[in-house]
Amino acid sequence: MDRKLFLEKILNEFENWWTHDPHSSNINFYQNTITASRLASLSNKEFIDFFYGFVSEGGRVQSGGDRTKNKFRNTVQNNIDRFRKYVLKPFRDNFSLKDWFLQLEEYPGFGVGIATIFLNRINHRKYPIMNNKTLKGLSRLGYRISSSKNWTNYKLVKQYQDDLLNDFPTLQNYYKADALNHFLVAVYQGQELISDYLQIDNFENELEQHEIECGAEIDETNKEELYKKLIECENSKSEKITINGKVYKRHNYLMALIKKYRDHKCQFCSTTILKANGAYYIEACHIKPKAEGGKDSFDNILILCPNCHKLFDYGERSNEKKRNATYSITINEKKYKASLK
Ligand SMILES: [Zn+2]
């Protein structure tokens, strides 16, 4: 499915959900309480109480504040003058977002998630939110982003949300753009949309890989030649490749080559699956997931049967090692080995 159509479909359903969900009525919840003059007018006790409440209820955006609220109270009680000054900085003209962000670790209990919600509550057209849901949601939409809440990713979050806001003006601001991430990660309807899309996408990739295998005359008996081709493909910068006058995704060409190189055989259990049309079915699995920055590269791909693939995705993993071009891992207390050569 075309990515743009997919996004349009998601945005339509999101818009329906948004109008009925508390997220939309909470958008201006702190409008009168998070202002420079009002915060400055609070006594130290009132100041601590206000932020304790804000952390406990996750700024009415995220949950989990119950776990951090006491840690937070200890932090500010011993440090109230410093915290007051720090947390009022974003209202000043010479505010440096980067410096502020990097100083966050000095305030345990006031982590990146709640701190960026606070910024967003000051100005939802200026500051995006970054919590676990943001990062998961964006990677489900196909953006390349790892799961760490660092400064580099904050800049990426802003860039990606800007792209979305540009393409879909109905999103209006970073608060609503973040509610979209919540919709995709935590709301059943959104999760279903993503999973349907991924299944369609997988199916289309599978068809394309089959077409490449049939059309590209890849000689599977000549392993050396295959290996040369796949390293060449891996190093290519282009996203597309033309075979016999038809354009394919480079990713699919690479996966077709790797599947041939591995004889369409599961690297964990040696299963092969012959389809009625004479082709083989097998899956490609990223050792380091794409969402965490893992690459489409020969040494990051395992060829697995559907069973072993799900075992790898959902089982309890330990002892993961890569040594002498051999990958080994223990899943649910059983050891597996696969060659990366
Ligand atoms: Zn298997």
Model confidence pLDDT, tens digit, residues 11-47: 999 999 999 999 999 999 999 999 999 999 999 999 9
Cα(266) to ligand 1 centroid in Å equals 5
Say whether pTM exceeds 0.95: no
pLDDT mean across residues, the chain? 92
Cα(206) to ligand 1 centroid in Å equals 18
pLDDT confidence band for 196 (50 / 70 / 90):
confident
Under 8 Å between Cβ of 303 and 267: yes
Supply the DSSP symbol for 299.
Answer: G
Cα(212) to ligand 1 centroid in Å equals 24
Question: Which two three-digit tokens encode residue 287?
Answer: 């050792």
Cα(332) to ligand 1 centroid in Å equals 15
Question: Which two three-digit tokens encode residue 295?
Answer: 């690459």
Under 8 Å between Cβ of 10 and 184: yes
Q: Where are the domains of the chain?
A: 3-189, 262-341
Cα(271) to ligand 1 centroid in Å equals 6
Under 8 Å between Cβ of 142 and 3: yes
What are the residues facing 304 on neighbouring strands?
A: 283
Alpha helices in 41-173, H assignment, sequence order: 44-56, 65-77, 80-88, 97-102, 112-122, 132-140, 151-167
Supply the DSSP symbol for 293.
Answer: T
| Residue corresponding to tokens 């947390």 | 87
Under 8 Å between Cβ of 310 and 301: no
Torsion angle defined by CA atoms of residues 61, 130, 119 and 49, in that order, rounded to the nearest 10 degrees: 50
| Predicted pLDDT at 254 | 93
- Provide mean pLDDT across the span 156-161: 97
Cα(282) to ligand 1 centroid in Å equals 9
- Contacts with 314 (C-beta within 8 Å, 6 or more apart), sequence order: none
Cα(178) to ligand 1 centroid in Å equals 38
pLDDT confidence band for 319 (50 / 70 / 90):
very high
Is pLDDT larger for residue 55 or for residue 225? 55
| Predicted pLDDT at 38 | 97
Question: Which two three-digit tokens encode residue 290?
Answer: 């794409």
